[in-house]
Amino acid sequence: MPRNRLFDVFNYVVITAVALICTLPMLLILIVSFTEEKVIQNNGYQFFPETFSFDAYNLLLFGNTPLYQSYFISIVVTVLGTAVAVVITGMAGYTISTRHLKYRNQLAVFFFITMVFNPGIVPWYLVSTGMGLQNTIWALIIPTLLFNPFNLFLVRNYMKEIPDSLTEAARIDGANDIYIAFRIFFPLSLPVLATITLFYGIAYWNNWFNAIMLVDKANLYPLQYLLFKLNSEISMIQQMQSMMDVSTSAVLPSESVKMATAILTIGPIVLFYPFLQKYFIKGLLIGSVKG
């Protein structure tokens, strides 16, 4: 008994130390985002800076930037895109996991090939523009909407473990595939569906490539692209100031803005993850090893 208790204490100490190590970089980013730019330039990143400043957040939150509009666009795109992508992936996973489908293994191989071979940017751009997605909110949703094959196989492997007796009983009662999928398979597959929900949600929230390629209107910029564009403009202004030998007192808060950008963009994901954590771990482990 004492030996087991000693082992538990050792585990708690190690886990606490690892948790602190993982937390320190995030804490440093938060502190630097409130640090005066001159202090960062002179002393680098510090946990205990000499002077604090709200310049970065004043620029991002109260400056002449459509930050709140971009936040709204990102939320709409993430929620809508994730919901539809999860439904499509779940239906595809159900299709290739059901044993009565004749060519389900061939379909699985077809989807697997797309994980290995990527057609490239040019076909992607031609298809997206050919669909008339440019300068519409759908340009931020549809190009990323097609399910990820990795997520598909997680769902397929999980659903393959659902007993056939449930499907057979439902078919005897006259249920069709839509009813079976949404009323039986989806509720029983909640852990793996929550897992891919997190995957899709992060992918949509962090996506800025679609905006660069397909969106020119400022009112449609997602949050990630707006902040990327803002950071690029600040860096360009600083280079011009350096070339013109402008006093450092006029330098914009470049480094602190980068850190503030990280805080503003990662916030929703950090708040969203705890609600899906238990499903995420269970769904990822079961969906990846079974099958």
pLDDT in tens, 7-44: 788 888 998 999 888 888 888 888 988 988 888 888 88
Please tell me what DSSP assigns to residue 35: B
Torsion region of 99: left, alpha or beta (phi above 0 gives left; psi -120 to 50 gives alpha): alpha
pLDDT, tens digit, for every residue of 192-230? 888 888 889 888 998 888 999 999 888 889 988 888 887
Domains, the chain, in order of start with CATH, read 55-289 (1.10.3720.10)
Contact 163, 60 (CB under 8 A): no
The Cβ of residue 220 has, within 10 Å, a number of other Cβ atoms equal to 20
- Model confidence at 290, pLDDT cuts 50, 70, 90, reads very low
Higher pLDDT, 251 or 51: 51
Q: Is the pLDDT of residue 133 over 60?
A: yes
Report the alpha-carbon distance of residue 260 to residue 67 in Å, rounded: 13
Highest mean pLDDT among 226-230, 264-268, 276-280: 226-230
Which pair of structure tokens corresponds to residue 117?
A: 């071979």
pLDDT, tens digit, for every residue of 68-117? 888 899 999 999 999 999 999 999 888 888 877 788 888 888 888 877 77
Report the alpha-carbon distance of residue 49 to residue 41 in Å, rounded: 12
For residues 262-275, give the mean pLDDT: 75
Q: Residue 271 CA to chain centroid, in angstroms? A: 13
Contact 152, 93 (CB under 8 A): yes
Q: At how many degrees (to 10) do helices 67-97 and 104-116 cross?
A: 140
- Model confidence at 241, pLDDT cuts 50, 70, 90, reads low
Q: How many residues comprise the chain? A: 291
Percent of residues, the chain, with pLDDT higher than 70: 86
Terminal-to-terminal C-alpha distance of the chain: 39
For residues 220-246, give the mean pLDDT: 76
Q: Which of 223, 222, 196 is nearest to 88 (CA)?
A: 196
Quick one: which H or E segment has residue 148? none
Q: Is the pLDDT of residue 52 over 60?
A: yes
